[in-house]
Structure formats: structure tokens, C-alpha cells
Amino acid sequence: MKSSVTRLDRFISQRSAFKQADTRLLIAQKRILLDGQVANSIQQQVTQFTHVLLDGQCLQHKQALYLMLHKPKGVVCATQDHQHPTVLDLLEHPHKDQLHIVGRLDLNTTGLVLLTNDGTWSRTISLPQTGLAKTYEVTLAQPVTAEYVEVFRQGIYFAYEGITTQPAELEIDSAHTARLTLTEGKYHQVKRMFGHFQNEVLALHRASVGALTLAGLAVGHSRELTEAELRTLALQTGAVHSGR
């Protein structure tokens, strides 16, 4: 999950035979291109996704990746597992080894999982202060009652962490099904919230993250997020994505 930013003169000394102090001259001679633009200051910031050319030679070219996956049941949200297939096993992307998971789902939870190689983006998306809404479709063993709505709105005390959950919105769809919208992601949060009422979660599906939905994406399939989706997420969360 590296997301380091390096000053241009430092980057040049690390990735070429030139010294840090040579960078001013290289800039004056217009020999460095950053994302296709002539570099103009030794203080310019080089991220892991900046395309850097020096005298036409590529010093760095790494594409930022942002994907969504429709996770099936029985697939683990990990990069490696000895027992179960992992979400990475489902991907066919040539650079899937670079990816990490943004907000895990339990083994038997289905639904929307985000993956990226951009640590800055995933950190912002995941910050509790960001408050990005995640909606879950829940099937319960016992009937769900109107009482739950107010209790979830008020928050539930999790003794293990010593915290109270952020206000959550519950919409009851039928006696045993509901939609729960959370703005945070504590460990087993949905199951523990219904556990407060001794009501077992029989099935759990993450239907959306912010404005992102699984519309048109079959179970087990994945796709890259579109520029428009990334822009909407940036407006919702402040998570700036790298240009592609």
C-alpha cells in the first residue's frame, strides 16, 4: 500500500546516473517530462504513478488501477489463502499482483468489493471521517422490527473496541429482510449490530459503495471503475485518483 511522494531532484538521483544537483540543469534544458509536460521545478512531486521521461528514456511508468468485483460466496477477501479461493483468483488483470482490497467482506458475504494499487486513494476511501455510505442487503433468522430502526440510528456500543457505532439507516423490506446503510466498517459490523437483538444474519450482500453499484456486473466478474465513477467518488469523499 505504498503511496510515497518524492521530490523531482531526489527522484532523478535515485533513478538515473545524474546527481540531485544536476536536476536544475536538466530542467533548464527541458530534458525531463512529467506526464507529458516539461518539468519546471526541482520541487515538483513525483508519485508512484507519475510517468517520468528523461532524454526520452522512461524512468517510471506505472498505471493506477481501480476495480470493482462482484464477490461470490465462499471466496475470501485476502490476497492469499490455503483453504479458499481468493478475490484475486477471480481476476484476470495482468497487474493483479499489485492490488489490495479496500474494505473486506466476510467469506460468505457477497457483493461489491473495491481493489486498487493506489494506497492514498484507498486510505481516504476507508477513513471513518470520510463517511462513505455502504449499503447491505440483509436476510435475518428472526423477524426484524421497527424498534431496530431507532436503535441503529442511535448507535450500538461495541464493548470490545469501546466505541459506539455511527448512526446507521435501516429500511425494513419484509419480515426477514432489510437494507442497512453504514458509513464505517468495523469488524463483522452488520452481524454484530443484528447480534445486539440476538438476530442471526443468514445472508449478507453489499449492494453499493457510495454511488457505485453492481448493475450489469455478473457474480464473480470484475471491471475497472470509469473516470466518471472515480470523479463522483472524489466529490463524495475527497479521494483523489491518479490520472490514467
Q: Is 189 in the site for ligand URA (CB under 6 A)?
A: yes
Query: Binders of ligand URA: how many residues, by CB under 6 A?
Result: 8
CB 140 within 8 A of CB 194: yes
Is 106 designated active site? Answer: yes
| Distance linking the first and last C-alpha atoms of the chain | 18
Q: Is 106 in the site for ligand URA (CB under 6 A)?
A: yes
Q: Which residues, 6 or more positions from 203, have their beta carbon under 8 angstroms from its beta carbon?
A: 108, 110, 137, 138, 139
Find the part of the chain contacting ligand URA (CB under 6 A) among 6-14, 182-190, 213-221, 229-237. Answer: 182-190
Interface residue with ligand URA among 191, 217, 219, 221 (CB under 6 A) is 191
- Which helix (H) or strand (E) segment holds residue 152: the answer is helix 146-154
* Closest distance of CB 185 from ligand URA, Å: 7
CB 143 within 8 A of CB 101: no
Q: Which is nearer to ligand URA, 42 or 77 (CB)?
A: 77
Distance CA 79, CA 100 (A): 7
Find the part of the chain contacting ligand URA (CB under 6 A) among 46-54, 103-111, 220-228, 235-243. Answer: 103-111
**Residue 70: strand pairing partners:** 112
**The three cell numbers locating residue 229:** 465513477
Q: Is 84 in the site for ligand URA (CB under 6 A)?
A: no
Contact footprint for ligand URA (CB under 6 A):
105-106, 109, 188-191, 204
Active site residues: 106
